[in-house]
Structure 1
Amino acid sequence: MTALQELQGLTDWACRLIMAAERPAPFSSRDGKLLRLVPVDRRLSAVEMAACIASALKEHPSLTAAAHEARCRDGARSSPSSTRCATLSVRSGDRAIAALLRGWAYLRAGDAQQALLDARCALASAPRRAALEREAADDGGAREGGPGSIVSSDLPEQPGTCDGAASATPGGVSNPSSCLTLSGDGIARAAAPLRGLHACAWAPAHVLSSEAHAAAGDWESAAVHASIACELEPSDPSHMERLRMVLPRLSSPQAAALTAGGAAGLWHYYNTWMAQRIEALHPGLPQPLVNKLLAQDAGELDLRIGHPEALAEQVEELMDVYKAGGAAALEVHCPAPLRWERMQQLLGPGAVGLPIGYEPPPSAGPSQQPRGQLAGKDASVLRLQG
């Protein structure tokens, strides 16, 4: 088989996969089975989709490798006697690769916003670093592969893996980098688990996210995802080249912070911005109390700041602890998480779910987590102030 024939076969398979992922969902004809439908006025035709996917596959070897691996898994699980129809039989584990391929198609077509939605879906659906670490501990070694190698497609749907196009909740993304540092080769290394969409352990999803953010002019987010891709696949020179292309677009302080401390360097700008927002609502708070607020889930803090009465409730709780036991007591105190019922009160009747990738605080029990699939366009990575 020639390279051209292989490319054509992979393109045909990708188009059929996307078509299957967009088939009407069992309980809502407005949504696809695995992917939320693109608005009709922006939807690509079958011919346009095939052309854009072929172009992306030809230019990005990492995308081709991911698609080829997924195609092999699809072939392995299919019955040898089954006939290949126009559409495939898809499972929940196929969502990440379907979103990745569709995202690249729309990015090629010039629709950066749809590419961002699909990139977020791929990031939320692919395995997270914690899952990889658990697998490595169980197997006695690291396990490599795409999303299908860790996430069983036979498992029930998990919160945070649904593509979304409309948001009822602002924020919703946890700390994008708890501790990334640059090693001697200039690649950002994770010294502690990442959270939110940034905890995704699948480099192709970060590559798409970086490219989509760059196309939308969000260079800070593009740099963060490019840095994470470098750390996940240090042997791929295209990731480092992508990061080098993004760095000149950052402000001098941001570029210096990223170079000196990886993505964690950019997180400093977020903390500064959030501290200013807290100061505007509650001037003169003790610094230990401000630090405690900044240390909590980023999405929840953003929601509380957007609804000052919710922030006032938590400030009052923390102030009581601070007055009773000082900074030491405040440091070990676990604030009460924002309950789903309270969140619905704040957001009004339009609150139907949480953004993709939202992770409830560790102290939140099952009764404090919303039921059902999550919907909504998340904030991607937090806007950093430079």
Structure 2
Amino acid sequence: MTTGLNRRHLLAGFAAFTACPAAAQTSVTAILDAAAKLPPTEALKLLAPIDAARLPPTERLDVEAARAGLAIDVRLGQRPTDYALLLQRRLGDAATPDRAIERLDRALATLSARALPLFKKIGHTVGTIGDRYAALFAETDQYFATADQAIAAMLRTLADLRIDTQALLPAVPPYCLDVSVRQLSAEEIAAGKQGYREPPAPGHPGAYIVDLKDLTRRPAWSLPSVVAHELLPGHMVQLGIESAAPPHPLRITYAAAFVEGWATYAETLVASRFTDPRVALGHLHWLIFRAARARIDLGLHHQHWSQDEARARQIEWQGAPVYFASFDTELTRTLREPASRAAEALAWLALADRAPRDPARRRRWHAAVLANGRKRLEQLP
């Protein structure tokens, strides 16, 4: 534990460094490192003397997020299962369960309404949205015969989205665009590994290593949105920019929802690229999946739904599970991690709701959102 003497030394060092921003980073990092090892109340005392407004942007975001999250942890010490606090811990101070339910219900209704005319175009006109998605997944001619074919198609999509990303996010560093996609190796498959990311960094290309072990569960129309989410303009942009000025672990903890929120929001930025009705439906299915699991998170933990009710809602909304998450797997995970899935979807919707409508302003806003790494809701521009 950090002693009173050590705290005084840390704060004295910080005071000496505030006039020198280059040295201040080391001092702030040391204080945050010490705070991370303390109980929340003591950690807040340690951070209290820091004037965050005088810090460089990355350190300011670190301190602000740490203070916000630690203050919530103090309250969680008294109410460890308080869902509102768990949601705010990962997302931001403005999050409340009732507002979250309203926003997610609205999102699910909107996404379903957008899917209906697309289903009509391809002849699926009977049943609920879930029924129609189940029928779409059952179309046997919509699957790749080989993994190489799937990779080739994903690379073509990536080439298109690289162009779109440069137009949408002109300030993105070039190294963030130096990304590719490949399939799991035979050794990784034998070891049971799933898909994973290698984010880009200056001098280091990025990649998404996609799981194509079972092509009978990955229809061709589902993969373009995977490219947008995992590569460009999704994770590889956000994580790539963040790699240049990594956030402190406390900010990673207390702004946890932002990463998935950005990647899902990024899918929507390139939705106009998905002109084929089935590809557009694939895009909507991914969004429905993320909104549905968030809504189920709230249903289970805040509204006390039974597991049977939650599973019935999954099927009603999605029809078929996504590749990496069966209905039962997702239900188990949501039960184990209250507020996590809801926070991720609400981060996406917060970005969508706050984004300026004017294209030029939106491009500048995107740059500010991505600058210096992940953020809590109250830290967004």
> What is the TM-score of this pair, normalised by structure 2?
0.26
TM-score (ref. length: structure 1): 0.26
Q: Which protein is richer in helix relative to its size?
A: 2
Indicate the structure whose relative CO is greater, using CA pairs within 8 Å and at least 6 residues apart. Answer: 2
